[in-house]
Structure 1
Amino acid sequence: MQRKAYVSGVAALLVALLAGCTSGSGGGGATDDANPGGAGSASAVAQPGKYRTLPGPCTAVSRDTLDSLLPGIKEIADADQREKAYEGDATLAFDNDRKAGCRWKVDSRTATDRLLVDFERVVSYDNSVSDDSQAQELFAEKQTAADLPEPTSSDSGSGSASTPSASSSPSADASASASASSSVSVSPSGSGSESASSSATPSSLQPRTLDDLGDEAFLDDALSGSGSTARQRTVTVVFRTSNVIVTIEYEEQPATVGAVPDSKEMQDRARKLAAQLADTLGG
């Protein structure tokens, strides 16, 4: 009888051990499924952006282009001062591989011209969001802040701007420029700036998106001041190539009160520079 009781106890112990092993096996599977870092459930990491560094903005603009945008440079008699004007002034940056800019300001006999070129390399710190997607979101914020007018039905293309032809007469160009410059509307922001975007302005000169520059781009054109003061025009071109956003701000303020900077001429110069910078980035 004692031996039979012993065997029964051993059998009960074996049953308990087997039950424990079965329970542990199931528990281990639940633990693996709950672990997001497990080999079978690792989430995909978003791809990094195309660009890891930025070009030097002060050297990215050629001297021929600066001569066109800042005609007063060639009027500087002193060679050292002229050289310094070409070099520009780098903007303050804590990491030149993330954000870098350069400014130029040159006075001429007829106007004061200013130029800003800014590069920004966007990096996403969210593994599920790519650098390109983060840059796209930032670009959209900049475009929304620009408050571009709705394109009119007569627009043939968002990025098409008329280019002067050899057969066009100077008087016709002057008339078109005068029409564009005189037709302005006060910005809804109440900042006092005026935008060359009224219904009388040719659609090719209105603030607009551009479809021939980088992955996406837009152009803004604002005129400030009144007929009793010098009218300052600011043309801004912003474009994105992969995870880099480039901003160009080109300003001109005539020395003569009441004079109005030519919209088409300034836009053409700014867009030409933007195309050159896009080529420099390789995008």
Structure 2
Amino acid sequence: MQRRAYVPGVAALLAALTVGVTGLTGCSAGSGPDGTATDSKAGDTADTAVQPGKYRTLLEPCGSVRRSTLKDLLPGAAQLPEEQREQVYRGTAAVTYDTDRRAGCSWKTDGPDASHQLTVDFERVVSYDPTVSDDDRAQQVYAGKEAAAGLPAQATAPAGEGQQAPSATGPTANPTAKSPVSPTPAPTGSPTTPEGLEPRVLADLADAAFLDDVLTRAGSTAQHRTVSVVFRTSNVIVTIRYGEQPARVTEVPDSKELQEKAQGLARNLAETLEE
């Protein structure tokens, strides 16, 4: 008798469990407010998150330029007493609040023939937009710098540099068009440069790069030329400015020499960043 009373109870319990399992099975896919099934992966952004930039820190700027390079770019320092010469080569660090985001250094020397100035600036770009990568944001910042330089739309590459990429600031250059720049030396105080050395995009340096070259008057007589090379590698933008002011008022700083030295330093820094 006790066994017969127990069996119906077990059957009732099993029936209740069966109903519960059926109810759970019906809800396993999830339901929306109207009872329709929903995808459990909806809204999942893990697969679309952008990757951080390659660089998390920056080079120490005053130690980033090799001593041999400084001797070449700052020839006047060689004639200074040792203590002053070492002070020139140490450079002056730029004041920044976060050296992992922005860092720079400058050097200056006066020689009997000319004075020279060099500055190097490193900027690590970080995107705070979760849909924009650090690299893409760095490219936007770089493009703004290139646009601000106002590069000629039809600038051509010097012999030996290879095909140049079109500037982001103008239409694609027409290779058959004649350069509007005269091959003769620029008039006194003119910001133009000889043909083939115009400000231009550099197609063979880092991820993107351009060169600017400006000749101005310093005061009422002396002429000063500044060559700038700006390049981007991943999420770091490097800006180099190299300037010369001859001691003689009749002399014009040589574009070719300054550009070659500035580009040489840019390539060295790009290689160092890649190490």
Structure 1 and Structure 2 fold alike (TM over 0.5): yes
How many angstroms apart in 2 are the aligned matches of 1:182 and 1:272? 24
Cα contact 2:155–2:199 (8 A) shared by 1: no
Aligned equivalent of 1:73, options 67, 73, 77: 77
Aligned equivalent of 2:61, options 57, 67, 88: 57
How many angstroms apart in 1 are the aligned matches of 2:187 and 2:37? 67
Q: Secondary structure at the match of 1:231?
A: strand
Aligned partner of 1:49: which letter? G
CA displacement 1:84-130 (0-9 Å, x = unmatched): 11000000111111000000010101111100000000000000000
Aligned equivalent of 2:86, options 83, 88, 105: 83
CA displacement 1:49-95 (0-9 Å, x = unmatched): 00000010100101110111110110112x22111110000001111
Aligned equivalent of 1:202, options 195, 198, 220: 195
Kindly state the Cα deviation for residue 134 of structure 1 after the two structures are TM-superposed. Answer: 0.2
CA displacement 1:204-234 (0-9 Å, x = unmatched): x110000111001000000002896111000
Q: CA RMSD in A?
A: 2.9
Residues 196 and 158 of structure 1: CA distance in aligned 2, closer, same or farther (over 3 Å): farther
Matches within 5 A, 1:65-214: 65-77=69-81, 79-151=82-154, 157-158=163-164, 182-183=185-186, 194-197=190-193, 201-203=194-196, 205-214=197-206
User: What is the aligned partner in structure 1 of residue 270 from structure 2?
Assistant: 278
Cα contact 2:156–2:164 (8 A) shared by 1: no
Residues 248 and 153 of structure 1: CA distance in aligned 2, closer, same or farther (over 3 Å): closer
Aligned equivalent of 2:245, options 229, 253, 256: 253
Task: Name stretches of at least 5 consecutive residues in structure 2 with no aligned partner.
Answer: 1-26, 166-181
Q: Secondary structure at the match of 2:104?
A: strand
User: What is the aligned partner in structure 1 of residue 33 from structure 2?
Assistant: 27
Cα contact 2:53–2:135 (8 A) shared by 1: yes
The number of residue pairs the alignment matches comes to 228
Cα contact 1:181–1:260 (8 A) shared by 2: no
Kindly state the Cα deviation for residue 202 of structure 1 after the two structures are TM-superposed. Answer: 2.0
Q: Secondary structure at the match of 2:222?
A: coil
How many angstroms apart in 2 are the aligned matches of 1:84 and 1:227? 27
- Normalised by the length of structure 1, the TM-score is 0.73
How many angstroms apart in 1 are the aligned matches of 2:95 and 2:107? 14
Aligned-residue sequence identity (percent) comes to 51
User: What is the aligned partner in structure 1 of residue 44 from structure 2?
Assistant: 42
Residues 64 and 45 of structure 1: CA distance in aligned 2, closer, same or farther (over 3 Å): same
Q: Secondary structure at the match of 2:33?
A: helix
How many angstroms apart in 1 are the aligned matches of 2:243 and 2:35? 66
Residues 30 and 107 of structure 1: CA distance in aligned 2, closer, same or farther (over 3 Å): farther
Kindly state the Cα deviation for residue 39 of structure 1 after the two structures are TM-superposed. Answer: 4.5
Aligned partner of 1:94: which letter? Y
- Normalised by the length of structure 2, the TM-score is 0.75
How many angstroms apart in 1 are the aligned matches of 2:184 and 2:218? 12
Cα contact 2:106–2:118 (8 A) shared by 1: yes
Aligned partner of 1:41: which letter? G
How many angstroms apart in 1 are the aligned matches of 2:92 and 2:237? 20
Q: Secondary structure at the match of 1:250?
A: strand
